[in-house]
Amino acid sequence: MPSTRSLLPKLKKDYPQLLFTPSGHFSWSPGAHTVFYDEVDTSNTSLLLHELAHGLLDHHDYSKDIELVAMESQAWDKALELAPLYGIKITDDTVQDSLDTYREWLHARSTCPECEATGYQSGKNLYTCVACSHEWRVNEARLCALRRYSTK
């Protein structure tokens, strides 16, 4: 299986419209049309293809958190489509483990800080509890600790 070091020249050649930039983590920046990759983690070609997939799918911002989960799933589907072209095997465990982190993130954000029931997203970073009507704001919390703030 290729490493990210051997895969990058092929991806740069095949997708000249995108930039590939070393970073401390794998991510996609729609504004910069840049795939960031972890240059230390050279074996994680599946994450590199996943972030490339975000770019190829032209993923941008989302207004509801569930949309992010959907984009993550779409990007994994695209990565699975690309993988055979580059001799990469992406296991279902890899995909599901990654998606689980987003499912857990969504569940944590939607859990009412007052009664622990599941709420619904009523606005950007705003949730309402279906059981007790409590409202709370959440921070972005994709790369940092989740914070929930009561709105009243």
**Percent of the chain beyond pLDDT 90?**
80
**Percent of the chain beyond pLDDT 70?**
93
Full residue range of the structural domain in which residue 47 is found: 4-78
Question: What residues pair up with 15 in beta bridges, in sequence order?
Answer: none
Does any domain span residue 147?
no
Does any domain span residue 33?
yes
Q: 36 CB contacts (<8 Å, ≥6 apart)?
A: 21, 22, 23, 25, 26, 27, 28, 29, 51
134, 112 in Cβ contact below 8 A? yes
Q: Convert the pLDDT of each residue in 94-136 to its tens digit.
A: 999 999 999 999 999 999 999 999 999 999 899 999 999 999 9
* Half-sphere exposure in the Cβ direction for 108 (13 Å, CA): 15
Res. 142: pLDDT tops 70 = no
Structural domain total, the chain: 1
Task: Indicate the pTM of the whole model.
Answer: 0.88
Does any domain span residue 57?
yes
pLDDT for residue 43: 75
